[in-house]
Structure 1
Amino acid sequence: MTQDAPEFGKGCHLHLIDGSAFIFRAYHALPPLTRKSDGLPVGAVAGFCNMLWKYVTDERGSDAPTHAAVIFDHSAKTFRNEIYDLYKANRPEPPEDLRPQFPLTREATRAFNISCIEVEGYEADDIIATLACQARDAGGAVTIISSDKDLMQLVGDGVDMLDPIKAKLIGPDEVREKFGVGPERVVDVQALAGDSVDNVPGAPGIGIKTASQLINDFGDLETLLERAEEIKQPKRRQTLIDHAEQIRISKRLVQLDCETPLDFTLQSLEVRDPDADALLGFLTEMEFRTLTARVAEKLGAEAPVVTSSPPSEAPAAPERPAIDSTGYDCVRDRDALDRWIAQIREAGHVAIDTETTGLDEMQADLVGISLSVHAGHACYIPIGHVAGSDDLFGAAALVDGQLPMDEVLKALRPVLEDAAILKIGQNVKYDWKILARHGIRMAPIADTMLMSYALNAGTHNHGMDELAERYLGHRCIPIKELIGSGKSQIGFAQVAIDKATPYAAEDAEVTLRLWQHFAPMLPSEKVTTVYETLERPMVPVLADMEMAGIRVDGEHLKRMSNAFAQKMAQLEDEIHQLAGEKFNVGSPKQLGEILFEKMGLEGGKQGKTGAYSTSADVLEDLAVEHDLPARVLDWRQTAKLKSTYTDALPTYVHPETGRVHTSYSIAGAQTGRLASTDPNLQNIPVRSEEGRRIREAFVAAPGHRLVSLDYSQIELRILAHVAEIPALKQAFKDGIDIHAMTASQMFGVPVEGMDPMIRRQAKAINFGVIYGISGYGLSRNLRIPRAEAQDFINTYFERFPEIRDYMDKTVADAKEAGFVTTLFGRRINTPGINQSGPAAGGARRAAINAPIQGAAADIIRRAMIRMPEAIRDLPARMLLQVHDELVFEVEDAAVDDLIAVARGVMENAAAPAVQLSVPLDVDAGSGANWAEAH
């Protein structure tokens, strides 16, 4: 705060920027990005800086702010968790690559010379509410830059909101349109309707529309609850009576705190121009070349030189003309198409990209195809552009001047399926599936995304736009320039062909140039084998699996939801018996009173409201000593299974196939593990009985069975091999129960007649040690005292010193080289391994686990790549990969044949590249559904 800062009052205009919303919007809207010099994730920081720069440079005229601040959430836990322990309990932890970016966004805000504010124990919304109220009371105007519905309760009396994406002001009328009530009653409506995102319970079965009707009828929430007996609808009336306390708690959760303690005044938020040295210094440190140049030009300063270089440098490449998107061909007649096909045959390769109506390859329609054979030349073939809904039936009419789709595909099919012509794509699996739906199976293929992944996994993202800017020095045409955003956004099919041509053809040329850049690097960086044996061949394998999909029994899921509800009721009865009285298990206040006042358990902490914390951490600690908190944890887990899985999976069923078609990411995790999305079928829990029952909903087609083949303890076997542990290797060779053997070695008890609890403890250590588990983590898993858990780990390392030696050597090698490698040559970079502080521990654990998990991922990839040929003559197809498990659908009579063939492929997948000193063992099963098979 400057000494002569003017008093805040009438004529002042305060802008309050929801920084936390900016961060998550930047993270999810943009592809990942890492700093070249050290692999630090900075994608969200880059997006955040671009948003701030746009804010700073926008011309606002009379609406320009005199004061401004960016407001952040300090941490996940706030005073609301003391009111209701399950508040925001369903929200996942921030992604691993986003966490280190949080402090950097604060640094960015300060570099822009904008006030940066966060307060421990309070949400950003509370700080915004407090500052807005202070500014309003002082006679100033306030604009909240956010689209968060929770902030709409502040609108009015000199306070408005601005949606930063839609550039739309939100005033009282817009609030009424959304909530059905004015801003002064938004809290009442939210208290009734609840919020599934923030886990605000509200009144069951009452949504926004009903809530607003009730509030408009009765005037306010308290009057409604006091006069609930007057409501005519019996179910609604009883809901309000039974859940009155829950509704009042919900209101306290959604009501913003306008008295957040602040250690500064409004005067200190006065707008200041960016300091060129500070801002450019930060942007240079982040290695944001484009934004650095843009800022320097605007501020009239000399742009600093960014000196970083990518981890892998390409061999000297021939000079090629700069990418110029203005001269691309638009192919509108057959002669032009034939000329391009002739060029493809002459060159022996072609870069190809498809434009479609959406991102779902199973439902998107083909709009156009772009091709490039030589740098500086590309074309676009429009085949599905429409002019709107003009005919009598409301169907979109094709724009004139396009070749018929069937004619184009028929002409291209011979070259796209010609084994002598290489087809080059960026994330080519998408284009492969689009064309496969039209009967074209492209082969052979090359994928620039997978080339980049093989070369630099973990150091940066592998999306085309980033690769183009990073390796070609070219900035691609943004898609938003064509389709717009928000309510005015159109589909690509509605884009004018003359505008679509440079965008689409550019994609093909950029893909070609990336291939020309990466292809020579594969042998020079010694990753050709990784790319050719573990990456590229996965494309058609996964594409076929994704297109096959798996059947889902929607009725079974409905029954499961009911069963979960019954299970929750049973758990409530057990909890009530353990407590000696009935209470609302979902009420943290009542649960806290039972645990810490009636039962006198230790560890109770009361917050500002006087309520005890009953967070998962608290209950996990208490579960070691008493059954009641353990049952509460089970109740919460069951509730989560119901909402997350059984209620959500039916929404992913394809309307035509009746099957769920997940999508696998090949270049996601740097260890080589595949990721499954839309829906994520790799996170379906299987350890609990309730979780395993979810798999019962995945069923075989009539006359078929599902077959599951699962590697048994593959990571422990790899650990035994790479760490050279004689006892473990011999046990695996002899087929001994490895967990019982470990327990016998550690605790001196015979294998025969072993107590199952002792074996369970050894199993938890066997698997936990691979991931660097601590005594604290093991005590949680086993629900035993921490000291006892740490003793187990100490004993484990005494018995198997080779594991400690392996860990120490792996970390030392990673610190020296900056990466580790798997048995099959996959390079896994270890950014942060040489840093200090809390992040170093995570980097160390990741380095220890990566060669083991990566080798396991490589082995199952090798098995999957060999599988289609191996089962070609069987009436079977591979449907799913879930970590160490493969799932097949096979005709009833061929189950045994499939198991024999597939098991042989999986158990011999490491050879001949690696001869393991332990055998790979595969468990197999079959059934009418996935649960029976597994």
Structure 2
Amino acid sequence: MAEKQHLYLVDGSAYIFRAYHRLPPLTDPEGTPVGAVYGYTTMLWKLAEDLDKAEGPTHLAVILDKSSHSFRNDIYPEYKANRPPPPDDLVPQFPLIRDATRAFSLSCIEEQGLEADDLIASYARAAAAQNWDVTIVSSDKDLMQLISEGDDSRGRIDMLDTMKNQRISLPEVADKFGVTPDLVGDVLALMGDSVDNIPGIFGVGPKTATKLIQEHGSLTAALDAAADMKKSKLKERLIEHRADAELSRILVALKEDCDLPMAMDDFKLDGVPVEPLAAFLQKHGFTSLLRRLDAGSGSPDRANDLNPAKPATAADVGDSEGNRQAVPDMPAIDRSAYECVQDMDTLNRWIARCEAARVIAVDTETSALDSMQADLVGISLAVAPNEACYIPLAHGGTDLLAETPQQIGLQDALAALRPVLTNDAILKIGQNIKYDLNVLARYDVDVTPVDDTMIISFALDAGRGEAGIGGGHGMDELSVRHLGHSPLSFKDVCGTGKKQIPFGEVPLDRATEYAAEDADVTWRLHKHMKPRLAIEGGTTVYERVDRPLVPVVAQMERHGIKVDRAALSRLSEEFATRMAALEGEIHGEADQEFTIGSPKQLGEILFDKMGYKGGRKGKSGQYSTDQAMLEKLAEQGATIATKVLEWRQLSKLKSTYTDALQAAINPKTGRVHTSYSLTGAQTGRLSSTDPNLQNIPIRTEIGRQIRTAFVADTGNVLLAADYSQIELRLAAHMADVPSLKEAFAAGEDIHARTAKEMYGEVTRDTRAQAKTINFAILYGISRWGLAGRLGVEADEAQAMIDRYFERFPGIQRYIAETLESVRELGYSQTLFGRKTWFPRINSKNGAERQGSERAAINAPIQGTSADIIKRAMVRMMPALTEADLGHVRMLLQVHDELVFELPEGDVEAAKPIIEKVMADAAMPAVTLDVPLGIEIGSGTDWGAAH
């Protein structure tokens, strides 16, 4: 039996105006407006992808309006007279939209004197008469007159509203109009249409029109019945404006017998050849779409279906709940199946099972959260669902009379396990396995190779999960989300508060349930999530960036960095003295003593007692005294606000750094060991905790003083290597901004170049403004935000933004393309393929939506920057080792900077290697159009290294 033909008729004219109003103005490399063209192209692309995933068409054509004049204007000159002419910047885009359609190798139909609706109607009826099914891609209510069910001899006609992702058939027509499609025109004639200037009958709305047609069966019958109606305004209007209604019926009727300008067989779909589409995208500077085409097409010699080998998953449509593909068949978790290993024979049996399995989950139980000081209490292993064990190593109560349970000696157990844990042929899976690596390394067990389910989840679903353990990627959350199982919690077995006991005191049966379950869940999560990497495009960033980084970062944490306790103590005293002086000055300004750290008391002083304007109360009933509010008051001359801001900064630095760093010194190593998270920042940047070294002020004198307390051991120096303006360089490349690329290539002062482009001259003030704007634009700043930073009015700030986009149109195009892509796909991507999801990008809540938009603009740039420095970190030690500098230690990663410790005599040998690794980190995966500048300094302390 021959294949059923299915014709899709796309109302291209509706697409054009939707695209125009959806995007900000854009220009192509030749300066031609292309905002609507870009939007139209993305919408057509999405339609092609969606139809390919569904039961797609066999034939497709795009129907356009040839001009604004049609035969209806000859009947009624005022037809559509209310419509304003198209915007000046849209007119030159009409021919380009036709070019875009043909670039997809799709038929593009238009006829002088006819509207697109008439051509759609004629093709739809002709196709249905040949027993083809027809789908009209439009939300135009006039086209609902065409919908029909079809039968054995005639094809069905339905509609697809892509704005609502809704099919429209007979039930939907009945819901909207209350009548069958053949009577829709009668309802429309009574209603009229102010947009198209169709008169109808004044005062008759949708409900009245529907009721009249339902009661009388047709427009003519309703008008005829008016004479017999009871006296009313409706009766008067039906009689008085009968001619208007009859004229309207002619205007809303679709011309279904037009000559067909192209045979329907010519609409047959045979794939989308790559070359014409690529040429069109290249010509108009649609670089992000060109990258999508390159990524999807494989070979340019074959037809491209725009979505070649990527099955639809929940991840592809921005589902904030995570991937919905089926979990592999696995039995329900049965804690009673787990085994407690208390003798060497049982351990050897489990070791044999691990060697046979080749893929095992590993988890450690310890006496504390700090991996550099925690004692190992036990190890759990899993080789398959419900096939897990717990090996207790240091259980027993602190009570001298308590009985110590039978368990294998720690050293004997580790000696037996070491060959498995270090065997390159056995993959060890962990959840945040960096912690386990550091614990076991202190017992001379170098675990390799490893997989990490937390980081796999991050590579797949960054931004999807709500904040929580592991930023939404903790084991308990993942277990509930993917496996539908809630594991035992730590407090379930150890208790809370004063009654909490160390894990080493938990009875072995309960400890086995808890610890072995963790390994079992981790094994199951790996079985479920690891295949998703290949399906959803996360393999490259996981395997080449994140996974090899785990042991590198673990080693950095173990190295730690030395701090000068005496210097920190002096700084703490200085900060305390200055805070005390400020406290007195603030109390003097307020003419009373109060607790400066209390927002409630501060708000009452500022707004109730001192009478400053602009105070706003939150839901709690107290005034807001956040930094933005205090800065606003300071700009208005409130010296008390200036002093409170300084007091707060000193208080934060004292508690977070000068006091906390002293407490964080490891008594065994004499160094501070921060803990890095590979999943703590949504864009992929590393974050650090206990202590947090990421937020030390960079450009202030106080920040420099704190950095001088980080010191090298005697005979060594610290070397700091910093990427110079990496995000601006990446913006120049990703947005394809020739002037910025030229400036970076020539080694120019980029902020001076921007000032010259925007203001025509470079002064201290214009350079400062340009610097602020350069960075602010990349974070999607609003006119209000920029106004606040520059201390100008909002209109002036908007003028600066407009001037910036005028001088650097590529940046504006990048922003528009990025937002359009994220709205459609639900995620952004770095140059290395790292996805960041924005489930609230289309939120109806303005604050949520705008926050997501700002983050989405910056995420590809900041994420690419993070990927680059991670790639440099992975390559760094092999490069240094190859140069006989393996004794150089990489200690810290802070934003765009790496800090090393090395003998002073090796600095000159190490500098060029470190610089080259960092400069070439993007290659060969990505070749940048701009060089990556590296600034390197060294000294006996971190401050001196800058």
Separation of aligned partners in 2, 1:606 and 1:867: 51
SS of 2:891's partner is strand
Mapped contact 1:416–1:423 kept (Cα < 8 A): yes
1:20-99 matched pairs, under 5 angstroms:
none
1:357-372 matched pairs, under 5 angstroms:
357-372=367-382
Report the AA paired with residue 789 of structure 2.
N
Shift of 1:369: 0.9
Are 1:840 and 2:849 an aligned pair? yes
Q: Counterpart of 2:756?
A: 744
The verdict on how the C-alpha distance between 1:849 and 1:662 changes in structure 2, with shifts beyond 3 A counting, is same
Q: Counterpart of 1:676?
A: 688
Q: Counterpart of 2:738?
A: 726
Q: Counterpart of 2:863?
A: 854
Shift of 1:894: 0.9
Separation of aligned partners in 2, 1:640 and 1:309: 35
The verdict on how the C-alpha distance between 1:796 and 1:576 changes in structure 2, with shifts beyond 3 A counting, is farther
Are 1:509 and 2:520 an aligned pair? yes
Task: Tell me which of 340, 344, 348 is aligned to 2:354.
Answer: 344
Q: Counterpart of 1:793?
A: 801
The verdict on how the C-alpha distance between 1:616 and 1:668 changes in structure 2, with shifts beyond 3 A counting, is closer
1:737-886 matched pairs, under 5 angstroms:
737-749=749-761, 754-836=762-844, 837-872=846-881, 873-874=884-885, 875-886=887-898
* 1:450-479 deviation digits (Å, cap 9, x = unpaired): 122212122122222222222223332232
* 1:491-523 deviation digits (Å, cap 9, x = unpaired): 100011122112211221222122221222221
Q: Counterpart of 1:564?
A: 575
Task: Tell me which of 645, 658, 661 is aligned to 2:657.
Answer: 645
Shift of 1:803: 1.2
Are 1:703 and 2:708 an aligned pair? no
Report the AA paired with residue 431 of structure 2.
Q
The alignment's C-alpha RMSD in Å is 3.2
1:225-244 matched pairs, under 5 angstroms:
none
Q: Counterpart of 1:192?
A: none
Report the AA paired with residue 868 of structure 1.
M
Are 1:402 and 2:407 an aligned pair? yes
Mapped contact 1:354–1:370 kept (Cα < 8 A): yes
Mapped contact 2:674–2:691 kept (Cα < 8 A): yes
**TM-score, with length taken from structure 2:** 0.61
Moved more, 825-834 or 662-671: 662-671
Separation of aligned partners in 1, 2:488 and 2:840: 34
Name stretches of at least 5 consecutive residues in structure 1 with no aligned partner: 1-307, 392-396
Shift of 1:390: 0.6
Mapped contact 1:716–1:766 kept (Cα < 8 A): yes
* Greater radius of gyration (CA): 2
SS of 1:735's partner is coil
Separation of aligned partners in 1, 2:448 and 2:493: 31
The verdict on how the C-alpha distance between 1:371 and 1:398 changes in structure 2, with shifts beyond 3 A counting, is farther
Q: Counterpart of 2:481?
A: 470
Report the AA paired with residue 811 of structure 1.
L
Mapped contact 2:841–2:852 kept (Cα < 8 A): yes
Q: Counterpart of 2:423?
A: 418
Separation of aligned partners in 1, 2:535 and 2:391: 36
The verdict on how the C-alpha distance between 1:375 and 1:631 changes in structure 2, with shifts beyond 3 A counting, is closer
Report the AA paired with residue 375 of structure 1.
P
Q: Counterpart of 1:455?
A: 460
Task: Tell me which of 555, 558, 561 is aligned to 1:547.
Answer: 558
SS of 1:887's partner is strand
1:168-317 matched pairs, under 5 angstroms:
310-314=321-325, 317=328
Shift of 1:434: 0.9
Mapped contact 1:455–1:527 kept (Cα < 8 A): yes
Mapped contact 1:620–1:780 kept (Cα < 8 A): no
Report the AA paired with residue 863 of structure 2.
G
The verdict on how the C-alpha distance between 1:568 and 1:382 changes in structure 2, with shifts beyond 3 A counting, is closer
Report the AA paired with residue 493 of structure 1.
G
SS of 2:944's partner is helix
Task: Tell me which of 429, 446, 450 is aligned to 2:434.
Answer: 429
Separation of aligned partners in 2, 1:643 and 1:358: 23
* 1:701-741 deviation digits (Å, cap 9, x = unpaired): 11111111111111111111111111111101110000011
SS of 1:519's partner is helix
Report the AA paired with residue 789 of structure 1.
A
Shift of 1:425: 1.1
Are 1:385 and 2:395 an aligned pair? yes
Q: Counterpart of 2:330?
A: 320
Shift of 1:568: 5.3
Separation of aligned partners in 2, 1:765 and 1:574: 35
Report the AA paired with residue 497 of structure 1.
L
Q: Counterpart of 1:538?
A: 549
Report the AA paired with residue 333 of structure 1.
D
Separation of aligned partners in 1, 2:608 and 2:321: 60
Separation of aligned partners in 2, 1:614 and 1:842: 21
Separation of aligned partners in 2, 1:428 and 1:451: 12
Report the AA paired with residue 532 of structure 2.
M
SS of 1:924's partner is strand
Separation of aligned partners in 2, 1:835 and 1:808: 18
Mapped contact 2:630–2:642 kept (Cα < 8 A): no
Separation of aligned partners in 2, 1:531 and 1:744: 42
Report the AA paired with residue 718 of structure 1.
L
Separation of aligned partners in 1, 2:591 and 2:496: 52
Aligned residues: 612
Moved more, 839-848 or 770-779: 770-779
Separation of aligned partners in 1, 2:600 and 2:451: 59
The verdict on how the C-alpha distance between 1:562 and 1:486 changes in structure 2, with shifts beyond 3 A counting, is closer
The verdict on how the C-alpha distance between 1:369 and 1:760 changes in structure 2, with shifts beyond 3 A counting, is same
SS of 1:474's partner is coil
SS of 1:353's partner is strand
Shift of 1:814: 0.8
The verdict on how the C-alpha distance between 1:734 and 1:584 changes in structure 2, with shifts beyond 3 A counting, is farther
Separation of aligned partners in 2, 1:425 and 1:573: 53
Mapped contact 2:729–2:932 kept (Cα < 8 A): yes
Shift of 1:381: 1.0
* 1:189-239 deviation digits (Å, cap 9, x = unpaired): xxxxxxxxxxxxxxxxxxxxxxxxxxxxxxxxxxxxxxxxxxxxxxxxxxx
**TM-score, with length taken from structure 1:** 0.61
Separation of aligned partners in 2, 1:589 and 1:515: 49
Q: Counterpart of 2:670?
A: 658
Separation of aligned partners in 1, 2:691 and 2:605: 39
The verdict on how the C-alpha distance between 1:635 and 1:323 changes in structure 2, with shifts beyond 3 A counting, is closer
Mapped contact 1:820–1:829 kept (Cα < 8 A): yes
Percent identical residues: 53
Report the AA paired with residue 816 of structure 2.
D
SS of 1:415's partner is helix
Report the AA paired with residue 323 of structure 2.
S
Mapped contact 2:320–2:839 kept (Cα < 8 A): no
* 1:68-120 deviation digits (Å, cap 9, x = unpaired): xxxxxxxxxxxxxxxxxxxxxxxxxxxxxxxxxxxxxxxxxxxxxxxxxxxxx
Mapped contact 1:711–1:923 kept (Cα < 8 A): yes
Mapped contact 1:620–1:783 kept (Cα < 8 A): no
Task: Tell me which of 896, 904, 910 is aligned to 2:922.
Answer: 910
SS of 1:933's partner is coil
Report the AA paired with residue 506 of structure 2.
V
The verdict on how the C-alpha distance between 1:617 and 1:315 changes in structure 2, with shifts beyond 3 A counting, is closer
The verdict on how the C-alpha distance between 1:548 and 1:398 changes in structure 2, with shifts beyond 3 A counting, is farther
